[in-house]
Amino acid sequence: MTDPSSTLSILERTGLALAIGFLVGIERGWKQRTEPEGGRVAGLRTFALSGLLGGIAGDIFVSAGAVPLATTSIVFGAAFTLFQYRHSIEDRDSSVTSTVAGLLVFALGAYAAIGDPRVAAAAGVATAIVLAFKQALHGWLQAITWKEFRSALIILAATFIALPVLPDGPIDPWGLFNLRSLWILTTLVAGASFGGYVFLRALGPEAGLVAGSLTGAIASSTAVTLDLARRVRSDEVGASGAAAAASLATVVSLVRVAILSAVFSMQAVLKIWPALAAGAFVCLIGALLLHRFNPAHRRNSPYAQVKSPLDLLSVARFAVLLCGLTILANIASRLLGSAGLNAFAATAGLVDADAATLAVGRLIGNNSISPSAAAIAILLAAASNQAFKMIIGFVAGGAAFALRFTAVVTVATALGAMVAAWTVWLP
């Protein structure tokens, strides 16, 4: 961070304070642009000057201490609040948004001068966004149901309340069961399910299905595939559309494996990226074809009715399945020892290709294995993960969804294996 006492720093920070007020003032002034001259209250100029005043007060604090800043804050806060109060009485407007926005602009202006300017700038942009999307936020609040709100609270509680207090490590004497890892995977399943539901509600059946799958796959493509399979079985989405979305989620997962591998070894990435790229290309083409020849798409009715955003029973069943597979993977790796790296990668990849990739990557970092051996293990983990998702498709989604998704993934895996035979196995 630059020295706050230097002249250049003072000019930059004061300019940022003015810019924050100017940005919020544009939003406030735009909403009052139809008012006659003299009838606009707390618009562009008022908010810009409020931000500048906060910046100047912060500059004074750096050189003169806290008393001038505190005095200026109290006087400005009282004057601005009184002015807004009189205006609200005249217009019979009970909203306090403009008052809070004005005080926040002043505070951000002061923080830009004495704190982290990046945080101040980000908070200023966030303030303008919240103010600008008033109608959209109010419309969303009116449309949300109690079940949706409850689902979001459950996911947040599982992530920010329960997860931090769980032990990070095995809880059984044999070191096979990691409750924290299982909880994280379960939360990802719930989050992917709820995210897909929100996108379906917000963007509609076609765009929402794609956007939800792509976003959820950043966390877990396995969870996305499970959620899509469940929705197909409950007639919420069409089999072809869901298979297309699951194929796109697979593309994201393959890209993610390449990125994680690059963290530990560029040599390994150079060996595996052609195979991953080939598989991703096939999945992308398959998704486009499934979407193009989707009967539900032609009927413009890809789903009948979106149901519960968070099926706790289904999530719990999937968590138990993940737990069992994790224990089996640990047992297999212990029985086979260091010579069973490929077997370990294949079994661990059933549960989570990312976890297997990171485990193999750590071995590269410790110089325990060669980049070629790591590349083979990572590709096996990715392939086994695709096999696991095909099984999920049949168990949770039925034949209509599973056959379409399996056809795409099988061709992608086969092409990837042929490319890997040329780039990894052959000298």
pLDDT value of residue 6:
67
Q: What is the pLDDT along the chain (427 residues), one digit of tens a residue?
A: 445 456 668 888 999 999 999 999 888 877 666 665 555 566 788 889 999 999 999 989 888 888 888 999 999 999 988 888 887 777 676 678 888 998 999 999 999 999 999 999 999 999 999 888 877 666 666 766 776 677 677 777 777 777 777 777 767 676 666 677 667 766 765 666 666 566 656 665 566 677 767 776 766 788 788 888 888 888 878 888 889 989 998 998 898 888 878 877 787 788 889 999 999 999 999 999 987 776 554 443 333 344 444 556 656 666 676 566 556 655 655 666 545 667 777 777 776 677 677 667 666 655 667 777 788 888 888 998 899 899 988 988 888 899 999 999 999 999 999 998 888 765 5
Domain ranges of the chain: 7-139, 144-425
CB 306 within 8 A of CB 201: yes
Residues of the chain by 3-state class (helix, strand, coil), percent to 5: 85, 0, 15
User: How far is the CA of 298 from the CAs of 228, 293, 294, 409, in angstroms?
Assistant: 20, 8, 7, 24
pLDDT value of residue 189:
59
The pTM of the full predicted model, rounded to 2 decimals, is 0.54
Locate 261 and state its tokens.
């591998």
Locate 89 and state its tokens.
């009485």
Question: DSSP of 13-28, one letter per residue?
Answer: HHHHHHHHHHHHHHHH
CA distance 401 to 233: 9
> Which residue do the tokens 């303008």 mark?
128
User: How far is the CA of 340 from the CAs of 245, 265, 366, in angstroms?
Assistant: 34, 21, 18
CB 195 within 8 A of CB 249: no
